[in-house]
């Protein structure tokens, strides 16, 4: 069982390196003392990220963030000093067009080459839906319809296992997998490694109680994305669900602790053992998102926040709902 107490925080020696590119998020630690920070990066930003990772590994004491280019890099960090290198967490993501087993290792190797690294800490399958392999990240036919590809999650998983065995990834995990898809992997004949984490939407309006419990039982860490309710970009966000950070309960509890609604939302997840990866371009908010380790919510407040659950996703990915492995048709 994953206990909330397993998520220890080392705020004493963690701070952020913030630039407008490397603004970031929150960090918290999983059982192996890794921190996760997050943010999407363009290709150019990725190159800068490479520089920063190297800087950190070469001795810069600090922390920073990460994330995905071509569903590749993410990075994170944490404490300085002698264990600096071990405390960097680099979890790139395998994109939908790279699911065929023969593409997995070359894709990761390409990422490693760009990052100029020998290994990543965590390699995850970003979505359980394969797309036609090729240069287009979102392959479409002449009618504008997405071109899917045969999805064999077990075969893709075996390729990730091989990357771990080859030392290219310390740990392997998934994202946006539902219970059935997790079980498919875990019940796979000859399974060598089960997923260490499942990155899914998780915040007070979408608390994921059943998936969280299932993952706890199987020692899979839930990494909560969009923990502040997303940027509400209408091109991919379900904005019919109200803005999380305007919630009166979160704001009222925040007043009591002299914290913002964002800090209460993050603290809520951290306190129930969910890793959070908020994103911000704003240095002040980045700082704010770290300042959640100096107070605790009471049991009653945790219950009040749990009761806010609307069971409605901000990130529905409806454009792919006809994919055979679309993950959000199942209850959880
Ligand atoms: N695996 C997946 O399928 C998946 C899907 C979605 C997202 N993600 C990842 O999850 C991470 C975060 O998710 P997200 O970007 O969707 O949403 P989020 O972190 O919940 O929200 C980001 C929004 O919140 C604002 N914000 C940040 N800190 C704030 C604060 N303290 N107070 C008020 N507003 C604040 C940001 O604006 P400012 O920049 O102006 O501060 C931005 O508009 C990203 O790295 C993303 O890549 C993964």
- Averaged pLDDT for residues 244-258: 98
pLDDT of 68 higher than 70: no
Confidence grade of residue 20 (pLDDT, cut at 50, 70, 90): very low
Compute, in angstroms, the gap from residue 230 CA to the centroid of ligand 1: 5
Q: How far is CA 72 from CA 8, 115, 173, in A?
A: 27, 10, 14
pLDDT value at residue 172: 97
| Test site for ligand 1: of 73, 195, 225, most ligand atoms within 8 A of the Cβ | 225
- CATH no. for 12-237+275-283+311-320: 3.20.20.100
pLDDT value at residue 115: 86
286 Cβ partners below 8 Å, 6+ apart? 16, 18, 23, 24, 25, 280
pLDDT of 17 higher than 80: no
Compute, in angstroms, the gap from residue 232 CA to the centroid of ligand 1: 9
Does 254 contact ligand 1 (Cβ within 6 A)? no
Name the residue at shortest CA distance from atom 13 of ligand 1.
Answer: 226
- Averaged pLDDT for residues 105-113: 95
Name the residue at shortest CA distance from atom 36 of ligand 1.
Answer: 280
- For residues 101 and 121, give the distance between their C-alpha atoms in angstroms, rounded to a whole number: 20
With tokens 């065995």, the residue in question is 165
- For residues 140 and 146, give the distance between their C-alpha atoms in angstroms, rounded to a whole number: 4
Question: Is residue 233 within 8 Å of residue 208, measured between CB atoms?
Answer: no
Does 116 contact ligand 1 (Cβ within 6 A)? no
Enter the pTM of the model: 0.81
Each residue's pLDDT tens digit, 139-198 = 999 999 999 999 999 999 999 999 999 999 999 999 999 999 999 999 999 999 999 999
Confidence grade of residue 92 (pLDDT, cut at 50, 70, 90): confident
Q: Specify the higher pLDDT residue, 90 or 71.
A: 90
Compute, in angstroms, the gap from residue 231 CA to the centroid of ligand 1: 6
Does 61 contact ligand 1 (Cβ within 6 A)? no
pLDDT value at residue 300: 98
User: Sign of dihedral through CA atoms 285, 286, 292, 297?
Assistant: positive
Name the residue at shortest CA distance from atom 37 of ligand 1.
Answer: 280
Does 289 contact ligand 1 (Cβ within 6 A)? yes
Confidence grade of residue 12 (pLDDT, cut at 50, 70, 90): very low
300 Cβ partners below 8 Å, 6+ apart? none
Does 181 contact ligand 1 (Cβ within 6 A)? no
Name the residue at shortest CA distance from atom 8 of ligand 1.
Answer: 225
pLDDT of 3 higher than 80: no
Burial class of residue 217 (count of CB atoms within 10 Å of its CB; 0-12, 13-18, 19+): exposed
141 Cβ partners below 8 Å, 6+ apart? 147
Nearest atom in ligand 1 to the alpha carbon of residue 124 is 1
Q: What is the DSSP string of 220-231?
A: -EEEEESTT---
190 Cβ partners below 8 Å, 6+ apart? none
Name the residue at shortest CA distance from atom 5 of ligand 1.
Answer: 225
- Average of per-residue pLDDT values in the chain: 80
pLDDT of 8 higher than 50: no
Compute, in angstroms, the gap from residue 119 CA to the centroid of ligand 1: 26
Q: What is the DSSP string of 56-80?
A: HHTT---B-----STT---------
322 Cβ partners below 8 Å, 6+ apart? none
Each residue's pLDDT tens digit, 277-325 = 999 999 999 999 999 999 999 999 999 999 999 999 999 999 999 999 9
Confidence grade of residue 88 (pLDDT, cut at 50, 70, 90): low
- Averaged pLDDT for residues 1-19: 26
pLDDT value at residue 90: 64
- Averaged pLDDT for residues 4-30: 26
**Percent of the chain whose predicted confidence (pLDDT) is above 90:** 71
261 Cβ partners below 8 Å, 6+ apart? 244, 245, 246, 247, 250, 251, 254
Does 228 contact ligand 1 (Cβ within 6 A)? yes
Name the residue at shortest CA distance from atom 21 of ligand 1.
Answer: 230
Each residue's pLDDT tens digit, 25-34 = 223 233 332 3
Compute, in angstroms, the gap from residue 275 CA to the centroid of ligand 1: 14
pLDDT of 238 higher than 70: yes
Q: Which of 5-9, 80-84, 130-134, 306-310 comes out lowest in average pLDDT?
A: 5-9
Q: How far is CA 18 from CA 72, 87, 282, 292, in A?
A: 21, 18, 9, 18
pLDDT value at residue 108: 96
Residue 25 tokens read as: 């998020």
Domain ranges, ordered by start, for the chain: 12-237+275-283+311-320
Compute, in angstroms, the gap from residue 280 CA to the centroid of ligand 1: 6
Each residue's pLDDT tens digit, 182-233 = 999 999 999 999 999 999 999 999 999 999 999 999 999 999 999 999 999 9
């Amino acid at each position: 069982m994953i206990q909330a107490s397993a998520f220890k925080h080392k705020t004493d020696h963690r701070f952020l390196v913030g630039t407008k590119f490397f603004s970031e998020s929150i960090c918290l630690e999983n059982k192996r003392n890794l921190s996760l920070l997050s943010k999407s990066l363009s290709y150019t930003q990725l190159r800068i990220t490479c520089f920063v990772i190297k800087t950190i590994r070469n001795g810069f004491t600090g922390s920073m963030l990460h994330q995905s280019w071509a569903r590749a890099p993410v990075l994170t960090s944490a404490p300085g000093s002698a264990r600096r290198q071990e405390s960097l967490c680099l979890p790139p993501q395998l994109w939908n067009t790279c699911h065929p087993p023969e593409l997995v290792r070359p894709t990761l190797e390409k990422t490693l080459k760009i990052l100029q690294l020998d290994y990543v800490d965590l390699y995850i399958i970003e979505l359980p839906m394969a797309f036609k392999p090729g240069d287009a990240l979102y392959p479409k036919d002449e009618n504008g319809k997405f071109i899917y590809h045969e999805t064999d999650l077990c075969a893709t998983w075996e390729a990730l296992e091989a990357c771990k065995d080859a030392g290219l990834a310390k740990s392997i995990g998934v994202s946006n997998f539902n219970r059935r898809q997790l079980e498919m992997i875990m019940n796979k004949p000859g399974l060598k490694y089960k997923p260490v984490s499942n990155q899914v939407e998780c915040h007070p309006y979408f608390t994921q109680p059943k998936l969280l419990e299932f993952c706890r039982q199987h020692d899979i860490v839930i990494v909560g994305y969009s923990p502040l309710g997303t940027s509400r970009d209408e091109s991919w966000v379900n904005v019919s669900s109200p803005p999380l950070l305007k919630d009166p309960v979160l704001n009222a509890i925040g007043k009591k602790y002299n914290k913002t609604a964002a800090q209460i939302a993050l603290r809520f997840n951290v306190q129930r053992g969910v890793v959070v990866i908020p994103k911000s371009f704003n240095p002040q908010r980045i700082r704010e998102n770290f300042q959640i380790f100096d107070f605790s919510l009471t049991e009653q407040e945790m219950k009040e926040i749990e009761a806010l659950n609307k069971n409605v996703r901000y990130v529905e990915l409806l454009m792919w709902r006809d994919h055979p492995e679309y993950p959000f048709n199942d209850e959880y």
